[in-house]
Structure 1
Amino acid sequence: MKTAILIPCYNEASTIGKVVSDFKREMPHADIYVYDNNSSDNTSEIAEKAGAIVRHEYRQGKGNVVRSMFHDIHADCYIMVDGDDTYPAEEALAFEQIILSKQADMVIGDRLSSTYFEENDRRFHNTGNRFVRKSINMFFKSDLHDIMTGMRAFSYDFVKSFPIRSKEFEIETEMSVFALMNNFKIKEIPIEYRDRKEGSVSKLNTYSDGMKVIRMIFALIRDQRPLMYFSVVTLILLIIAGIFFFPILFTFFQTGNVLKIPTLIVSAVVVIIAAMTFFVGVILHVLKHQHAEELERHLILLNEMKRKE
């Protein structure tokens, strides 16, 4: 059984050496990969000196790095962790055991049930984490505690089935939703979170990256729950049509005359658009189920290939 430690990095020279050393100590049997995402410091040199296999991803953004990692590396268990030394290497063996024993396809390192709010004093980051968690749990009928954690473990089936769309920090949200909507087994483990060391700077922009995550949530709702998404849009359009139409109807009952013909035409057009929107949702809902069947066939094929190996 092969285990790969995946560490995406951008300007983490102050911490990457310790991260690699910690994981080598805790998991000497694992291959440790550091993917350098255009660092301007000596992250690559320090990681290589510490014993990591260093590769480079020149398309900027964490999502692009994870895409390359998942495409390039073949293993039975994948453990992904940030290079900022905020996650405990001591938990990695527990993650590995859960994946290799097939108890889960994705293990989530749950910071929020542990020390995250004590260690992290960035108020807007904390608020954003709560908002994303509540939104995902509400729309996708789940009970996850930490959607955006940077420490996870994955099975081979998950990694080779996950079609990554994200380019940047939205990747964690996309992973969680993909696992939820495609019936992958998820397990959460509370982990101790340590705040960044002095000299280590967060690459996450609270506002711009937060907006990207929110846009990703709406895109995932549209793609993964199209009937619900387009039904809501249909309802909004019908309300708008009603705002235009009912004053005209009220005037007609009072006077017997149809006034504001252009407004009546606009309301009729909006109703037609609403009907078309609803049928788009129905069609996409059917296609989503067909895609789920194709994914199941893909997973069966993956398992057959693994047995032949």
Structure 2
Amino acid sequence: MPPSADVCVLLPTLNESATIADVIRAYQEAGFSNILVVDGGSGDGTRELAHEAGAAVITQSGEGKGQAIREAVEAIEADYVLMADADMTYRAEDAERMLEPLLVGDFEHVIGNRFADMEPGAMTKLNRIGNRLINRGFQFIHGEDYRDILSGYRAFRTDSFERLTLSADGFGIETEMAVECAKNGVKTEVVPITYRERPDGSATNLHPIKDGGIIFLELYRKAKTSNPLFYFGSVGLLSTASGLALAAFVIFRWVRYNIGHEIVAVGATAAILFGVQLLMFGVLADLILSLHHEQLTRIDRLEADTTPEPTTAGSDSTAAESADSSRSPPRNAE
């Protein structure tokens, strides 16, 4: 890592007294002096231990990991941010690998892929299945394969973070960041990292069922502006299928037993009409989004074509001398 790199290590915390000091020391030994702990109101002395270990500490004004990260990044003046959890599951030794695409390449956002080297016991089977489903859903909806969108080990340029429209307060922040990167064309790289088991005495703040449901809802909600055909079409398809099933039931009962179900028939018709309208709206919204992307591409091309190429002072003086000589008459013309 270049010694001139302006990097801030960001550690969101909530009752991490068992590990916070060790995490801070690990990053200090890795060469990082700018370490910021944003605490969510811990009651176990996390803030005091972090301050004693040499980190800057702020207490977030709101609640949730997402709100903490947004508030912390606003206070960071460094050019680059390395974000990690404070529970010892991520290694400080992987920091250089995380930052390399930003410092050496032209990437703006880096995601650490935990599945590349996951130690036994680091993730429960239920969490592993949930992560796989969410990643597959993200790839299907947003068309990008980031491999591990729920990873808490991130590195990004501070100016690129400002381009992301983030509103999630809890653990949905990682999903929202991945969606916004795909939506806004933020150049994102995925690097392999090691994911370790939480040490004894360190309790997780993640609730698999509750937070998993929030993450799925966040993934679906964000599809409204990035993949409207899926967002509206999925509900429209479900409504149409339900209406057709009810209609088939009404027709069967009427033909077989000569029994009418007028109310059910009205409901089936309404469901079919509603579903078809949503499908049509999804197609139109997807068409508008495609045209919008084409217009943005054309604007970028026009800006690139009209941007003048920089010229050196030597070439300018040479061009001026050439112009002057072309205007002056030859010596033997007299």
Structure-2-length-normalised TM-score: 0.77
Q: CA deviation at 1:290?
A: 8.4
User: Cα deviations across residues 71-127 of structure 1 (Å, max 9, x unaligned)?
Assistant: 3323321110011111111121232231123432211111111124x1425222222
Moved more, 172-181 or 60-69: 172-181
Q: CA deviation at 1:157?
A: 3.4
Identity between Structure 1 and Structure 2 (%): 27
Choose which of 15, 19, 24 in structure 2 pairs with 1:11: 15
- Structure 1's 286 and 165: CA in aligned 2 closer, same or farther, altered over 3 A? farther
Structure 1 regions of 5+ residues with no counterpart? Answer: 301-309
Choose which of 143, 146, 149 in structure 2 pairs with 1:144: 146
Q: CA deviation at 1:154?
A: 0.8
Q: Show the counterpart of 1:107.
A: 110
Q: Show the counterpart of 1:268.
A: 269
Choose which of 91, 101, 113 in structure 2 pairs with 1:98: 101
The 5-angstrom pairing of residues 215-230 of structure 1 reads 215-230=217-232
Q: CA deviation at 1:262?
A: 4.2
- Structure 1's 269 and 161: CA in aligned 2 closer, same or farther, altered over 3 A? same
Choose which of 234, 237, 245 in structure 1 pairs with 2:236: 234
The 5-angstrom pairing of residues 34-113 of structure 1 reads 34-113=37-116
Which structure carries more relative contact order (alpha carbon 8 Å, separation 6+)? Answer: 1
The 5-angstrom pairing of residues 102-141 of structure 1 reads 102-116=105-119, 118-120=120-122, 122-141=124-143
> Number of paired residues?
296
CA contact (8 A) 1:35 1:56 kept: yes
CA contact (8 A) 2:73 2:158 kept: no
- Structure 1's 205 and 259: CA in aligned 2 closer, same or farther, altered over 3 A? closer
Q: Show the counterpart of 1:20.
A: 24
Choose which of 160, 163, 166 in structure 1 pairs with 2:165: 163
Bigger radius of gyration, 1 or 2?
2
CA contact (8 A) 1:113 1:145 kept: no
Moved more, 82-91 or 208-217: 208-217
Aligned partners of 2:254 and 2:23: how far apart in 1? 74
Q: CA deviation at 1:199?
A: 1.2
- Structure 1's 209 and 261: CA in aligned 2 closer, same or farther, altered over 3 A? closer
- Structure 1's 45 and 247: CA in aligned 2 closer, same or farther, altered over 3 A? closer
Paired AA for residue 269 in structure 1? A
CA RMSD of aligned residues (A): 3.1
Q: Secondary structure at the match of 2:222?
A: helix
Aligned partners of 1:33 and 1:291: how far apart in 2? 39
Aligned partners of 1:60 and 1:102: how far apart in 2? 35
Aligned partners of 2:136 and 2:277: how far apart in 1? 31
Work out whether 1:185 is the aligned partner of 2:187: yes
Structure-1-length-normalised TM-score: 0.83
User: Cα deviations across residues 188-215 of structure 1 (Å, max 9, x unaligned)?
Assistant: 2211222111111111112211221222
Q: Secondary structure at the match of 1:24?
A: helix
Aligned partners of 1:269 and 1:241: how far apart in 2? 7
Moved more, 87-96 or 275-284: 275-284
